[in-house]
Amino acid sequence: MDRNTRQKRAIASVLRNRANPLSPAEILKFALEEVPTIGIATVYRSLKSLLKDEQVVSVEIPGEPPRYERADKGHHHHFLCRTCGEVFDLKTCLDGIKKMAPPKFRVDDHEIILYGACKDCAPRSKPAKQRSKCCSLRNGAPRIPETKVAS
Ligand SMILES: [Zn+2]
Ligand SMILES: [Zn+2]
C-alpha cells in the first residue's frame, strides 16, 4: 500500500471510529496515533478525496469552521458546545417539523442545531446569550416600534 493510501485510510478510520464530527485539527490529533508522520496538509488532501468519494460529509454550522463525519450515519442533527467547541451527534429529530411550513409549501430538508454546553462544560459555564429569536412569537409578537396612527 502506498503512503498516500495508508494516510487516507488512517483518516477514514479516525472518522469511522469517532462518534462525533471532527475538525481537521482533531482528525490530525487522532490520525497521528496511527500514522505518526501525518501532517495537516495530508488531512486536508485526504478529506478532499474522501468527500469526493462520498465517504465523508462536511458538517456546516454557521460561523464555525466545518467539521467532518462519515457519510453513512443517516439523518441526524448536531449539538455545538460553545464552551469547548466540540460538536456532538443528536439521536432524535422532531416529529411534525414539516408542519412549520405554510400550507401548500413543500419541505425538502431541514437543519437543526442545538447550542449550549456539553455535560463536561455545563457545570462550570453560564448560559450564553440567546442568539436565536425563534421563540419570540410564543412569548408575544416581536416588538415593533410604535408609530402614531392618524385618527
Ligand atoms: Zn464542552
Ligand atoms: Zn431532522
Predicted local confidence at residue 141, as pLDDT:
45
Domains of the chain: which residue ranges? 1-71, 75-151
Rg (C-alpha) for the chain, rounded Å, is 21
Per-residue pLDDT tens over the stretch 18-64: 989 999 999 999 999 988 999 999 999 999 999 999 999 999 999 99
Residue of 31, 27, 33, 23 whose CA lies nearest to 7: 31
∠ CA 119-85-8, nearest 5°, is 115
More confident residue, 126 or 96: 96
Per-residue pLDDT tens over the stretch 114-130: 999 999 999 988 876 66
Question: How many CB atoms are located within 10 Å of the residue 38 CB?
Answer: 22
The CATH class of the 1-71 domain is mainly alpha
- Fold designation for 75-151: Dna Ligase; domain 1 (3.30.1490)
Note residues around ion ligand 1 (Cβ under 5 angstroms).
81, 83-84, 118, 121
The answer to whether residue 151 scores a pLDDT higher than 70 is no
Q: How far is the CA of 58 from the centre of ligand 2 (A)?
A: 16
Ligand nearest the Cα atom of residue 121: 1
User: Cα separation of 94 and 113, whole Å?
Assistant: 12
> What are the C-alpha distances in Å from 51 to residues 43, 48, 71?
12, 5, 9
